[in-house]
Amino acid sequence: MDAARELNGPTRKTVNGGNYINYFIAPAPVKDGRRVSTAKAFLSPIKDRKNLYVMKNTRADAVLMDGNRAIGVRVTLKEGQTINVKVSKEVILSAGSIASPKLLMLSGIGPKQHLHEVEIPNVVDLPVGKNLHNHFGWLGLYLAYQNKTATPPSPTYNLDEAYQYLVHKQGILGTNGGFAFIGAARVNDSNSKYADMQFFHTHYKRGDVDKVDKVSKIFNVNDDIKHEIMKIVKEADVIMPMPSLLKSKSTGELRLRNKDPAVPVKIYGNSFSEQDVEMMLKTVHFFKKMLKTKAFVREGVRLHHLYIPD
Angle at which helix 223-235 crosses helix 209-218, to 10 degrees, equals 150
The pLDDT value given to residue 159: 87
Strand partners, 85: 73
Domain(s) labelled CATH 3.30.560.10 in the chain stretch across: 1-38+134-249+270-304
Give 1-38+134-249+270-304's CATH code, choosing from 3.40.30.10, 3.30.560.10, 3.40.190.10, 1.10.3260.10: 3.30.560.10
Predicted structure pTM score? 0.81
- Contact assessment for residue 153 and residue 207, using Cβ atoms and an 8 Å cutoff: yes
Residues of the chain scoring pLDDT < 50: none
The pLDDT value given to residue 5: 82
The pLDDT value given to residue 192: 84
- Contact assessment for residue 144 and residue 232, using Cβ atoms and an 8 Å cutoff: yes
The pLDDT value given to residue 10: 67
- State the DSSP H helix or E strand holding residue 235, giving kind and residue range, or none if neither: helix 223-235
Q: Residue 290 burial by CB count (10 A; 0-12/13-18/19+): exposed, middle or buried?
A: buried
The pLDDT value given to residue 247: 87
The pLDDT value given to residue 268: 94
Instruction: Starting at the earlier edge strand, list the strands of the sheet with 59-66.
Output: 59-66, 69-76, 82-86
The pLDDT value given to residue 29: 82
Give the Cα separation of 85 and 100 in Å (integer): 18
